[in-house]
Structure formats: C-alpha cells, structure tokens
Amino acid sequence: MAEKKDRLPPGQYLTKDLPVLHVGSIPHFDAKTWDLKIGGLVESPLTLDYRSFQMLPRVVRESDFHCVTTWSRYDLKWGGIPLLHILAQVNPHPEARFAFIQCDGGYTTNLDIEALRDPDTLLADSLDDAPLTTEHGFPVRLVVPNKYSWKSAKWVRSIEFVAEDRPGFWEMRGYSNNADPFAEERHE
C-alpha cells in the first residue's frame, strides 16, 4: 500500500468520520421482495433474491474512500461480492462498455466496465466487520475505491450493461463521468 502522504488526493482532507450523504430518503428494505437484477448486453442475465445474494462467495477488501465534497477516509474494510464474480456469471457482450446502476429511491450512476473489473470493486454488504447500516447503503452498495464516492451507489437494485454511456444522477448535473479523485475530476 502507498505511503499515507501519497494516498490523499489533491484538494482532499483526511477525516476519521464517515459522513452520511445521499439523495432522497432512506428506502425501506423487505427481504421477501428485494432483488438485484443484472442484465442488458450480457449472455446470462441474473436476478438474485436476498437469500441468493447472501450465498455468493465473499471477500473483504481494505480501501480508501474519497468524497467529492473534499473529505477522504483511509482503510475502510468492505465485505461483499467482487464485481469480477458477477461479470464472470453474466458474461457481458464485447460491445458492453458501460454499466448503468439503478438504486432504490431513484438514484443512478454510470461507470465504464473497466471500473467494474477492478479487483477492489465490490457489491458490499458489510463495513468494518459489521453489516452495513441503512444510512450507508444496506442491504447492498457498490464500492468503487478508485472513483469519487458518488460512483459507490447505495441501495443498488440493478446493473445494466450497455454499449453507449448514459449519465447518472450527478453526471446529469455536471459532475465528471470519470470521477478520478487523483486527477480532481469533480465536474465536467
């Protein structure tokens, strides 16, 4: 892991807190009706109910978290399912270059498929050895450590693989598509 001085992106300050930021209200969760759909330009679309999601192979990854509002937190320990595992199950078509993520409450974001292929990108359901709280995205959130945190969407319900990029909630409002914190890609 890099030295601490190399880990803080430009324009960021380090915090020990994990502020709670999101658009809209926290959605209600019902394990009997919850599902996660993964489809679009894939060979094998997948729908997981809550029990099936919980049965997937899990990993723990430690990573830093960078918010566009200028705070960063080091060494968060996320637990969940690597997106590499999901990609292997659904087998995206070669023309699937992007993913469009939809969440409970209407939030959306977009990512290029290479961000999902990063071994540290997870569908997380735990944080620091405890289940995610609803405020931090329970039952599942996307964690994309090499992007600003608006790409790490909470309350994920679907991932659609597409050929053409489609802006999400913040991207439609002028935020960067790429969202690289080390390049300070906050706004277009």
DSSP string, 74-100: EEEEEEEEEHHHHHHHH-B-TT--EEE
Portion of the chain with pLDDT greater than 70, in percent? 96
- In angstroms, the Cα distances linking 55 to 118, 130, 159 are 22, 17, 19
Topology of domain 30-183, CATH: Sulfite Oxidase; Chain A, domain 2 (3.90.420)
Question: Taking the domains of the chain in order of start, what are their residue ranges?
Answer: 30-183
Q: What is the pLDDT of residues 42-79, one digit of tens each?
A: 999 999 999 999 999 999 999 999 999 999 999 999 99
Q: Give the integer Cα–Cα distance in Å for 118 and 129.
A: 22
DSSP letters along 14-37, please? E-SS-----SSPPPP--TTT-EEE
Stretch among 5-14, 94-103, 107-116, 177-186 having the lowest mean pLDDT: 5-14
Q: Is the dihedral of CA 166, 176, 68, 86 positive or negative?
A: positive
Burial environment of residue 143 by CB neighbours within 10 A (0 to 12, 13 to 18, 19 or more)? buried
Portion of the chain with pLDDT greater than 90, in percent? 89
Return mean pLDDT, the chain.
93
| pLDDT for residue 4 is more than 60 | no
List, in order, residues 6 or more apart from 30 with CB less than 8 Å away. Answer: none
* pLDDT attached to residue 5: 55
Q: What is the pLDDT of residues 104-140, one digit of tens each?
A: 999 999 999 999 999 999 999 999 999 999 999 999 9
> Token match 């991207």: residue?
171
Work out whether strand 156-162 and strand 35-40 pair parallel, antiparallel, or are unpaired.
parallel
* pLDDT attached to residue 17: 81
